[in-house]
Amino acid sequence: MSDKKPSRQYEYKEEYGSYFPYPIHMPTEIYYCFSTHLRRQKFRELKNTNRITTNERITKRYGIDFKNDLLSDLYLYRTIEHDNGIKIIVNGRIITEWDRVKLDGAIMTNAL
């Protein structure tokens, strides 16, 4: 046996499973896991513009000032990994089915 340490990616695969070996850590203790590094790169490239366009669409549709980056990120993740299922890790808990995703709570503020 070799004394070579496994790479960080290998350790992640062992801990969370090997099907989605390319995670992105978001500031809110959420990891979106991708099936390929190209899909992860696409998410990184489109994340900011997708947040703007999604928030603008909802603002226009409902006539309220809307800003929810989490919803925008979920929408983009689903668009990118649409044919591979999902793996999202929230506070150490693994979500692998869309019907298990629950957005609970929002803060309403005065826009003035």
**Chunked in runs of 10, what are the mean pLDDT values of the chain (112 residues)?**
42 51 81 92 96 94 89 94 87 88 72 56
- Helix (H) / strand (E) containing 60: helix 37-62
**Owner of token pair 């979106």:** 32
The string of pLDDT tens digits covering residues 24-55 is: 888 778 899 999 999 999 999 999 999 999 99
For the chain, the domains span 18-100
Classify the C-alpha dihedral 39-40-45-46 as positive or negative.
Answer: positive
Residue 98: predicted pLDDT: 87
Q: For the domain covering 18-100, report its CATH number.
A: 3.30.70.3560
DSSP secondary structure string, 75-99? HHHHHHTTTT---EEETTEEE-SGG
Contact 33, 27 (CB under 8 A): no
Residue 9: predicted pLDDT: 43
This prediction's pTM:
0.74
